[in-house]
Structure 1
Amino acid sequence: MTLLKRCAYLIVLGVLFVGCTTAPTLSQSDVFETYGEIASFRKRLAEDESNGLFNLAPEGFRKAENKLNQAISLGRSKKDEAVADTMREGRVILDKAEADAITTKSLMREVLEARRLAIAAEADTIMADQFKALDKKLRQAAEQVEQGDLEAAKKWRPEMLEGYSEVELEALKQDATENARYDISQAIKSEADEYAPKTLKLAREELALAIAVLETNRTQRTKAKNHALEASKQARRSIELTELIKEFDNREYTSEDVLLWYQKQLAQINESTDERLPFDLPNHEVVKVLQDKLANYAELRKTELATRIDLQTRLAAVERQNQEAQARFDKIQDLFSAEEANVYRQGHNILLEMRAFNFPSGGTDIQAENFELLDKIVTAIKSFPSPDVVVSGHTDSVGGDETNRTLSQQRAETVASFLEKVGGVERTRLTAIGYGEARPVANNETEIGRKSNRRIEVLIINE
């Protein structure tokens, strides 16, 4: 082979080698434009995260994100078949993650509401460590749901419900009373405990009242802050009194000196009026001149005292009622397994979301397999002295609106009839309502979601 031919051959080989080693790859934005299934999967994940589902099925969504990243990497190399396989696997994983998240959301409905209220009170910032610890427990419960252990997940509810409620209340207290606590601490440092103990006591009482308002009704933040402001004023007043008494001591004031100083202060207050104070009269006559100007303030203080006593009485009554309601709720909750029903407390009322109550397709007859569950519902109702009961039927979105509404109404009436004729519940206290597909608790686009939406709910009203 001539030198010229060898050179030409080497050049051709080089071009081929460079072409093989520098195969074009797609940018990430190109991948989303080229592979619609990747873009759709990414959008679905983003919506789930925006809806707060990631914490409700953390392991499943982590795996789904991994599959998305794998698909993007394969797409950049234009490996079409591998992309298709990875996306099929990803959709299976994401379907399960969403279903698990729906289950967790239903199982932890009250916990998630308590968490929302805690965030609204800025507990995630003010009580950051405690809040993170509670969120960790929520993720652990969600992981147990993912593993299918609903009973284990259910056991977390009381602890988390109490925990989120406590951090919400503590955050509200700290936000409302921070300045008052500081002012009282400064008064103590100034020795007001020794020189102005009565005034400092008033400050402490106002602080306690601010806290009591929040413990009774957490929405009364303005009222609590007003009491905290009064606590600050009294604390600062005790500091001023302490400094004044110390000044009298340093100047070695006699009793007469103190009284003359007192009359001078009254005279200064009275300077803006036309009438001079009659210091040649008994002190009560002098005070009477100014007393009328303070009448409105005195009436306000009297009203506040009455309010404080009434608040303490109502707080004790509310606490007693809450304890009784919680004890009844715990008893009813223990009647049902996680597979049978979700039990929710709504104030003094109880909502039973029946998960295991089944009707034949398109039918309204109660199946024998449901008799035991119905007996438990009757037991729950009879835990109350004379409750009203609302039975509501719900369907999925398959079929027409009117058909679903009619079917759900008939099923609700069938259950209500059983509660009357077999359970002994007075008919006048029973209401049956069919909502059809109008109140879904899950996504109707999946079989798991549709199954969750086909349900009977029993609301036991004790208010």
Structure 2
Amino acid sequence: MTLLKRSAYLIVLGVLFVGCTTAPTLSQTDVFETYGEIASFRKRLAEDESNGLFNLAPEGFRKAENKLNQAISLGRSKKDEAVAEKIREGREILDKAETDAITTKSLMREVLEARRLAIAAEADSMMADQFKALDNKLRLAAEQVEQGDLEAAKKWRPEMLEGYSEIELEALKQDATENARYDISQAINREADEYAPKTLKLAREELALAIAVLETNRTQRTKAKNHALEASKQARRSIELTELIKEFDNREYSAEDVLLWYQKQLAQINESTDEPLPFDQPNHEVVKVLQDKLANYAELRKTELATRIDLQSRLAAVERQNQEAQARFDKIQDLFSAEEANVYRQGHNILLEMRAFNFPSGGTDIQAENFELLDKIVTAIKSFPSPDVVVSGHTDSVGGDETNRKLSQQRAETVASFLEKVGGVERTRLTAIGYGEARPVANNETEIGRKSNRRIEVLIINE
């Protein structure tokens, strides 16, 4: 139920109740026109809902909605002071809810991306129960963020990330292989297992390849569907072979009858050519004539086989690299607490979004309290053999654009200098960039948001 519908529903209930004692003074439309603060608060809530923030701080937004509905009810009775108080309380709650939602969004960035991909694969409808269960866990994690227990919320990430990823993959498999599975089941029902087992086996192998492609790289949907199409083709072929063999049995064909039928089929294939098939010669001579005409096709098949073997080898190498990269990421992630940094994997690269790195207001000197955090950054960098490192500085929106850019540049260079002189990172591999206020991660209208925007990020590039 949307915010508008929920508000309207509660207002109707209020009208029915109040109508028993006294008629309402203002209509719903009148309330919104008379009290600009109610209309503004309602609009802000609606925007937060459309931006998907409600599920990221559910308790806070529920309380904010309650304050809105209370303000509307009081506005209908023209209780101006009470309306102002409820809106003030609601704004305080909403400020915190929005801040909590941003924290959840940052903490669960990879989980939310996995959820988006699952929805894109239609897993939310194809596996509704599993998707709903994962969303409930996301809601619980968001509630823990609201309670200030970031470490508890962080523990949900691996399970949710794996869960959304698994149902996305399963949805992709079902979408790509549904027809192939049906065709194979039809072949089994038609007794292809007994009459054409070799061909049916080919169909099953192609289906397995389609699934393996998605499990290795789920973006290769076209390739997976091609394997599934081949599986369907082989399954239907096994049905045709089964029916043909049954027909031979029903007509009581002798071995000679079968061979004459076979030669007739070859002759029909050869009808469009000028050279008749030499059926008075051994069968291998007959076959050779047709082989010459199919030489180009055979060469293409040979190339395709070589390509497949090469691709499988490369996919195996990529999988090994991904496993190594994930192990390194897990190790680096364990270095930092949720209060110190958010750690993100970007392919084989690692992004450290430092949450606890502070500079004095307007200053660029590193504080002693951050030395331990810097040591952890050095440890993370040295987990890679020879990475390039980009240190980026960011500010809030207070002050001029150019001043903020210069300040962020100086802070980034200070950190880079520490990494070189204390951490032993080669200067040629270090880059310092100041973005000023250009890349905020939170709302600059609140102090909490501005604090989040005043940050240092370290990108460790291993590609």
**What TM-score comes out, normalization by structure 2 length?**
0.93
| CA displacement 1:229-272 (0-9 Å, x = unmatched) | 11100010011111111221222222111101111112222334
Q: Please say if 1:181 is aligned against 2:186.
A: no
Give the secondary-structure state (helix, strand or coil) at the position aligned to 1:24.
Answer: coil
325 and 2 in structure 1: CA distance in 2 versus 1, 3 angstrom threshold = closer
Task: Report how far residue 91 of structure 1 moved.
Answer: 0.5
282 and 404 in structure 1: CA distance in 2 versus 1, 3 angstrom threshold = same
Task: Report how far residue 216 of structure 1 moved.
Answer: 2.5
249 and 407 in structure 1: CA distance in 2 versus 1, 3 angstrom threshold = same
Q: Percent identity?
A: 96
Q: Structure 1 CA distance, aligned partners of 2:57 and 2:4?
A: 68
10 and 409 in structure 1: CA distance in 2 versus 1, 3 angstrom threshold = closer
Task: Report how far residue 276 of structure 1 moved.
Answer: 3.2
Task: Report how far residue 10 of structure 1 moved.
Answer: 38
Give the ranges of 4+ consecutive aligned residues of structure 1 lying more than 6 Å apart after TM superposition: 1-21
Are the counterparts in 1 of residues 270 and 277 from structure 2 also a CA contact under 8 Å? Answer: yes
Match of 1:256 in 2: 256
418 and 263 in structure 1: CA distance in 2 versus 1, 3 angstrom threshold = same
Are the counterparts in 1 of residues 151 and 338 from structure 2 also a CA contact under 8 Å? Answer: yes
The 10-residue stretch of structure 1 (15-24 or 386-395) with the greater mean CA deviation from structure 2: 15-24
Q: Structure 2 CA distance, aligned partners of 1:88 and 1:280?
A: 101
The 10-residue stretch of structure 1 (181-190 or 34-43) with the greater mean CA deviation from structure 2: 181-190
Are the counterparts in 1 of residues 199 and 237 from structure 2 also a CA contact under 8 Å? Answer: yes
Task: Report how far residue 312 of structure 1 moved.
Answer: 2.4
Q: Structure 1 CA distance, aligned partners of 2:335 and 2:4?
A: 93
Task: Report how far residue 364 of structure 1 moved.
Answer: 0.2
Are the counterparts in 1 of residues 11 and 69 from structure 2 also a CA contact under 8 Å? Answer: no
The 10-residue stretch of structure 1 (416-425 or 245-254) with the greater mean CA deviation from structure 2: 245-254
Q: Structure 2 CA distance, aligned partners of 1:336 and 1:269?
A: 70
Are the counterparts in 2 of residues 180 and 232 from structure 1 also a CA contact under 8 Å? Answer: yes
| CA displacement 1:266-308 (0-9 Å, x = unmatched) | 2222334444332222223322333344334323332332233
Are the counterparts in 2 of residues 123 and 168 from structure 1 also a CA contact under 8 Å? Answer: yes
Give the secondary-structure state (helix, strand or coil) at the position aligned to 1:21.
Answer: coil
The 10-residue stretch of structure 1 (350-359 or 77-86) with the greater mean CA deviation from structure 2: 77-86
242 and 418 in structure 1: CA distance in 2 versus 1, 3 angstrom threshold = same
Task: Report how far residue 24 of structure 1 moved.
Answer: 4.7
Match of 1:332 in 2: 332
**What TM-score comes out, normalization by structure 1 length?**
0.93
Are the counterparts in 1 of residues 3 and 46 from structure 2 also a CA contact under 8 Å? Answer: no
Are the counterparts in 2 of residues 124 and 131 from structure 1 also a CA contact under 8 Å? Answer: yes
Q: Structure 2 CA distance, aligned partners of 1:188 and 1:340?
A: 59
| CA displacement 1:19-62 (0-9 Å, x = unmatched) | 99655522212211111111111111111111111110011111
Are the counterparts in 1 of residues 11 and 73 from structure 2 also a CA contact under 8 Å? Answer: no
Are the counterparts in 1 of residues 10 and 69 from structure 2 also a CA contact under 8 Å? Answer: no
Task: Return the index of the structure with the highest Cα Rg.
Answer: 1
Task: Report how far residue 309 of structure 1 moved.
Answer: 1.9
Are the counterparts in 2 of residues 195 and 242 from structure 1 also a CA contact under 8 Å? Answer: yes
| CA displacement 1:314-370 (0-9 Å, x = unmatched) | 232222222211111111111111111111111111111000000000000001111
Task: Report how far residue 184 of structure 1 moved.
Answer: 1.1
The residue correspondences of 1:160-239 to structure 2 (distance < 5 A) are 160-239=160-239
Number of residue-to-residue matches in the alignment: 463
Q: Structure 2 CA distance, aligned partners of 1:345 and 1:163?
A: 18
Q: Structure 1 CA distance, aligned partners of 2:62 and 2:3?
A: 60
Are the counterparts in 1 of residues 14 and 73 from structure 2 also a CA contact under 8 Å? Answer: no
Give the secondary-structure state (helix, strand or coil) at the position aligned to 1:356.
Answer: coil
Q: Structure 2 CA distance, aligned partners of 1:320 and 1:154?
A: 27
Cα RMSD of the aligned pairs, angstroms, is 8.3
Q: Structure 1 CA distance, aligned partners of 2:385 and 2:341?
A: 22
| CA displacement 1:395-446 (0-9 Å, x = unmatched) | 0111111101100000000000000000111111111010101111111111
Match of 2:323 in 1: 323
Are the counterparts in 2 of residues 209 and 308 from structure 1 also a CA contact under 8 Å? Answer: no
Q: Structure 1 CA distance, aligned partners of 2:3 and 2:355?
A: 85
Structure 1: gaps of 5 or more residues:
none
255 and 16 in structure 1: CA distance in 2 versus 1, 3 angstrom threshold = closer
Match of 1:372 in 2: 372
